[in-house]
């Protein structure tokens, strides 16, 4: 009898032990549901209906592979991606590389703070500048949790906010289900003019985010340590696959919900050109409850993502330059560009979309070294990428680079 009881108990313990190891990918996944995603996805659905559904699906598939490779690099080498770049490049290259990474980090921060400010304006009528300051202060409090209590409590807070984000943005799709035929038709890759290419680049930049590529290698290393023995490495990599898969499934569902809601509710309306007008349109079409959930989801998105972004920026600087600025001080400094955008009165929604295009241009700088390093047998040993994996990762880098070049061409020629 005791033997019969021991078997399910052992199975439960294995499942419970595996579940305890989940978490780093969910923190990184916050980058995929930040306010830049909200602006890009809602704009895409409002302007082009279901046309760019395929971009959401493709971007999340890309992100799943990229995030696994980043986590694998950290687990196998015991170093973050920025640290490996530093160790394998000259000082001038490191400085130039850090410069572009900081530009990308600023674009990330701008989107997240502006998004939080818009949400506070929608919920409480606060001026955008005041909302931006409050977003920055709350993000500092979240970073203090990570500083004082370690990564696990920080993960729990961020995962809780991810749940709020998911409910906030998926509620509208449940209230008013989108067209099944329209959704399936949107899986066919195609564009419709320069603006659709711009939005596609923004959507990809908002999903396969450079700072998340850098960050995940550090999150996995800090959470699990350096997996030195083959048995430990195999187990951790298997758990990481589940971690990344679940996190990207949630992030992908949230992103798709944003676009489908806009395609179903906002497409064809001439008065939807900002997040504020989109919120008003949702209130008119679906009621105040749906509009409230949308604004709450946007606020949680801004608060969580700006904390994760600041953490990534500190890790990038430490890895590349071996210089560590206190995280809260860095948070204060990187807050300034976003507050300036709010202070001078620039269109916040357009600023969000352009910031995501900047992120898209930064992806190859993070992705190409990642693929190179994880394909290097001398560095990765028996955890080196399979040839098929490397081929797919290189294809992702090529597709994103080609999309950026097409965007430049269309913008310059005005096609």
227: left (phi over 0), alpha (psi -120 to 50) or beta: beta
pLDDT tens profile 24-83: 888 888 888 888 888 889 989 999 999 999 999 999 999 999 999 999 999 999 999 999
Q: Closest by alpha carbon to 311, among 64, 19, 82?
A: 82
- Match 């439960």 to its residue by tokens: 12
pLDDT tens-digit profile of 44-57? 999 999 999 999 99
Among 186-195, 251-260, 358-367, the range scoring the smallest mean pLDDT is: 358-367
Percent of the chain with pLDDT over 70: 92
pLDDT the model gives residue 323: 83
Question: What gap in Å lies between CA 16 and CA 34, rounded to an integer?
Answer: 30
The pLDDT score that the predictor gives to residue 300 is 93
Q: Model-level pTM?
A: 0.88
Q: Judge contact between 18 and 147, C-beta under 8 A.
A: no
Burial of 326 (0-12, 13-18, 19+ CB in 10 A): exposed
DSSP letter string, 248-310: HHHHHHHHHHHHHHHHHHTTT-TT--SHHHHHHHHHHHH-HHHHHHHHHHHHHHHHHHHHHHH
Band (pLDDT 50/70/90 cuts) for residue 263 is: very high
More confident residue, 357 or 94: 94
pLDDT confidence tier of residue 5, bands split at 50, 70 and 90? very low
Confidence band for 414, pLDDT divided at 50, 70 and 90: low
Please give the pLDDT value at position 151. Answer: 72
- The listed range with the strongest mean pLDDT (14-23, 377-386, 400-409) is 377-386
Mean pLDDT to the nearest integer, 9-15: 46
The Cα 30–Cα 204 span in angstroms is 15
The pLDDT value given to residue 12: 41
User: Residues 323, 324, 328, 331: what is their CA dihedral angle, to the nearest 10 degrees?
Assistant: 30
Q: What is the reported pLDDT for 2?
A: 40
Instruction: Please name the residue that has the structure tokens 């300034």.
Output: 336
CA–CA gap between residue 225 and residue 75 (Å, rounded): 7
What's the confidence (pLDDT) of residue 21? 54
What is the CA 167 to chain-centroid distance, rounded?
17
Q: How large is the average pLDDT for residues 211-218?
A: 91
From residue 143, give the alpha-carbon distance in Å to each of 3, 82, 114, 362. Answer: 47, 21, 18, 25
Do residues 15 and 147 lie in contact, with contact meaning Cβ atoms separated by under 8 Å? no
User: Cα–Cα distance between 98 and 86 in angstroms, integer?
Assistant: 10
Per-residue confidence band for 3, with pLDDT thresholds at 50, 70 and 90 = very low
The whole-number pLDDT of residue 247 equals 93
- Geometric angle at alpha carbon 343, from 342 and 349, rounded to 5°: 20
Q: Give the residue among 357, 398, 33, 402 at the shortest CA–CA distance from 195.
A: 357
> CA-CA distance, 351 to 112, in Å (whole number)?
11
Mean pLDDT in the chain?
Answer: 86
Write the pLDDT tens digit of every residue in 315-363: 898 899 888 777 667 777 778 888 888 999 888 877 777 776 777 778 8
For residue 345, count other CB atoms closer than 10 A to its CB. Answer: 9
Residue range 105-160, pLDDT digits in tens: 888 888 889 989 999 999 999 999 999 999 988 888 887 877 777 777 888 888 89
d(CA 247, CA 260): 20
User: Is 179 within 8 Å of 50 (Cβ atoms)?
Assistant: yes
Rg (CA), the chain: 21
pLDDT of 18 reads 46
């Amino acid at each position: 009898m005791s033997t019969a009881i021991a078997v399910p108990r052992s199975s439960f313990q294995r499942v419970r032990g595996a579940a305890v190891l989940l978490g780093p990918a969910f923190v990184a996944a916050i980058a995929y549901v930040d306010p830049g995603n909200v602006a890009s996805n809602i704009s895409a659905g409002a302007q082009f209906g279901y046309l760019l559904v395929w971009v959401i699906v493709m971007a999340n598939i890309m992100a799943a592979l990229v995030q696994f490779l980043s986590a694998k690099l950290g687990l196998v080498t015991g170093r973050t991606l920025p640290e490996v770049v530093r160790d394998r490049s000259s000082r001038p290259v490191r400085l130039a590389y850090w410069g572009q990474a900081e530009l990308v980090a600023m674009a990330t921060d701008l989107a997240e703070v502006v998004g939080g400010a818009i949400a506070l304006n929608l919920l409480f009528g606060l001026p955008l500048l005041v909302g931006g300051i409050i977003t920055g202060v709350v993000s500092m409090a979240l970073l203090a949790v990570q500083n004082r209590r370690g990564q696990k409590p920080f993960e729990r807070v961020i995962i809780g906010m991810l749940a709020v984000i998911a409910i906030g943005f998926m509620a509208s799709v449940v209230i008013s289900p989108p067209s099944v035929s329209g959704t399936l038709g949107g899986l066919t890759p195609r564009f419709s003019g320069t603006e659709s290419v711009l939005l596609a680049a923004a959507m990809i930049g908002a999903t396969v985010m450079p700072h998340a590529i850098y960050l995940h290698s550090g999150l996995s290393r800090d959470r699990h340590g350096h997996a030195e023995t083959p048995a430990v490495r195999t187990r951790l990599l298997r758990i990481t696959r589940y971690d990344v898969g679940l996190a990207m499934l949630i992030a992908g569902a949230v992103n798709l919900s944003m676009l489908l809601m806009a395609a179903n509710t906002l497409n064809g309306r001439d008065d939807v050109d900002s997040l504020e007008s989109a919120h008003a349109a949702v209130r008119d079409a679906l009621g105040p409850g749906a509009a409230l959930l949308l604004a709450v989801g946007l606020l949680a998105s801004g608060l969580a993502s700006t904390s994760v972004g600041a953490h990534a920026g500190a890790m990038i600087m430490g890895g590349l330059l071996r210089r560590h600025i206190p995280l809260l001080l860095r948070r204060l400094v990187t807050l300034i560009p976003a507050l300036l955008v709010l202070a001078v009165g620039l269109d916040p929604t357009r600023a969000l979309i352009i910031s995501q295009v900047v992120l898209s241009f930064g992806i190859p700088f993070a992705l190409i070294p990642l693929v190179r390093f994880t394909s290097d047998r001398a560095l990765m040993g028996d955890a080196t990428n399979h040839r098929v994996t490397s081929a797919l990762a290189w294809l992702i880098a090529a597709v994103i680079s080609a999309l950026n070049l097409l965007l430049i061409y269309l913008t310059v020629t005005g096609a």
